[in-house]
A and B are shown apart, each in its own frame.
Chain A
């Protein structure tokens, strides 16, 4: 044990008038970690799936994202059309994910896609999402070979393809999905939960979009 480490930990124990936790006290905290108690349930997101999807869309829009709800075959056309509607280049860096590769991007002759992480010159990124939270309109992104974090942050415009089935009520449901996917004590390097485009209120407390991350966020919600 390093000196600094024991100095801090022993200082804490001295102040709390006890030694290292043992016996029943230790069992209680071990138990709490193994089976984490939930806080008060937020009622507004406890809904049947279709209404959960609607609540997600409502909050995402309230947080300055735009939302389009389409069937799976329409996803590439919606992305192209969104870029055209907003006078954005028909070129994007896309997450190299099998899920996104399942859509027929070749149908969009004008759209040029590069799979990989974001470069400083990229204007648009396209990613999937691990999950989404209906309570606040929040997207959940997990890092990995199929989802570089820079795609969530560097380009001016972030287009997210989200399946309706991946929309859950609250954070607690996301944690359960993470544990199921990555194992109880393992996390991906980065979990970004993102609610709308980047913003700042640092000049006179007035909200401005596009501080450092994307200025625009478009969420394509895929019906199944």
Chain B
């Protein structure tokens, strides 16, 4: 996927004035986060499970090569195939070759963020193979030629009316001539249209929430059942997963499943959790006759053993973005690439470079809500801070910012001068703003005053001078 992360500021400005987007985002702020809170409260063991989930992921990452090899061994033993893809291009080529080997015309896809990461759909379309997204949200945005705006709710930026327009436009050719207005009718129409696609598809392609080393199983968590249809009806199943998706055992999966659904949607359990292991067996009446797993690295292995390794614990629940004030204000598209929100601000510079995505870790107030809800306790603000430091070290920050920081650090190291200057500025702002008590505009501070007034300082001087007075009073 082509990144527009470089244009983050521009993207964010556009997002703030988009009425449909703001309407959709206002629902997000109360929806997911409130439901997560209730689900966590219903389960007294939730915090202990989060600790355990973190420990499981840390253990796996420290032994990642071992568990990947073990996973491969089990897949092969049950008649499946494992393909290793160091880069996005390798994964594209492997999947295209697999599709060609069965003369595939259409592929029923279920939602896979890794497939977005490697730009799979464009690649397959160029080869004349039609990938059909079957997750309802993904289907809607595929019709609209948009990228997902959220990792578990890809069409969360759209209103019901926008979905109705999209279906009316695209389903007309299939004989649906009425513009629908009710949600359940929209769902039913998509179900009908996509049911035909499932029945026709030659290949089913899905991601994985977990790969279980103990059994060689790929594990998928969904609510719609589309992933299950896509890995049951077509004759070939392809699983595309990145290296950090492997976990040791089914017992570990039990822990991770308990924190995943609750953190993501506030559900006790998602509707479908499915384990697929190898192709269909002798005597089975359905299921694919070929089972392939494509394991993608794409830069992840180089993060191991570094300060940034914690980001690989992520189980893609989306809680960090659901609770992020920045994501809540601008939505996912402004981030400009596949993974938005706090985890996107940490992953994207790693995957496509800090030169391209350096803006993202700056889009945070460091309020810490993301870290406080992360089911595997990723220290997201700390990791964003790390990227800011890298960006500064590589001289990628704009000159004005660098000069401002240099000036501030010059003053901060000279306390007397700092206090004298701030006292002076304080007095001036207090004097000139006395009448109104606020500034509607101020030179050099237009970034602030364009959107809100700057309050004039209250009488009494700076914090430093008030503190000094307070201390001398208590001593006396």
Interface residues in A1-53 (C-beta closer than 8 Å to B): 2, 4-5, 7-9, 11-13, 15-17, 20-21, 25-26, 29, 32-33, 36-44
Closest CB in chain B relative to A149 CB, distance in Å: 5
A33 touches B136 (CB 8 A): no
Interface residues in A77-129 (C-beta closer than 8 Å to B): 116-117, 120
A201 touches B287 (CB 8 A): no
Residue tally, chain B, CB below 8 Å to A: 107
Q: How many angstroms between the C-alpha atoms of A4 and B257 in the bound complex?
A: 31
Residue of B66, B78, B194 with most partner-chain A CB within 10 A: B66
Known contacts: A13-B65, A144-B283, A211-B191. The answer to whether A39 contacts B159 by CB under 8 A is no
Q: What chain A residues lie within 8 Å of B67 (beta carbons)?
A: 29
A201 touches B223 (CB 8 A): yes
B45 touches A42 (CB 8 A): yes
Residue of B28, B286, B305 with most partner-chain A CB within 10 A: B286
B259 — nearest CB in chain A belongs to which residue?
A39
Closest CB in chain B relative to A184 CB, distance in Å: 9
Q: Confirm or deny: B15 has a beta carbon within 8 angstroms of a beta carbon on chain A.
A: no
Q: Confirm or deny: A66 has a beta carbon within 8 angstroms of a beta carbon on chain B.
A: no
Partner of A202, one of B84, B137, B195: B137
Interface residues in A152-203 (C-beta closer than 8 Å to B): 152-154, 170-172, 175, 178, 185-203
A117 touches B66 (CB 8 A): no
Mark A136-157 against chain B: 1 for CB-CB distance below 8 A, else 0: 1110000111001110111000
A145 touches B297 (CB 8 A): no
Q: Confirm or deny: B425 has a beta carbon within 8 angstroms of a beta carbon on chain A.
A: no
Closest CB in chain A relative to B255 CB, distance in Å: 4
Q: What chain A residues lie within 8 Å of B347 (beta carbons)?
A: none
B276 — nearest CB in chain A belongs to which residue?
A190
B156 touches A205 (CB 8 A): yes
Q: Confirm or deny: B280 has a beta carbon within 8 angstroms of a beta carbon on chain A.
A: yes
B274 touches A192 (CB 8 A): yes
Binding site for B on A (CB under 8 A): 2, 4-5, 7-9, 11-13, 15-17, 20-21, 25-26, 29, 32-33, 36-44, 59, 62-63, 116-117, 120, 136-138, 143-145, 148-150, 152-154, 170-172, 175, 178, 185-206, 208, 210-214
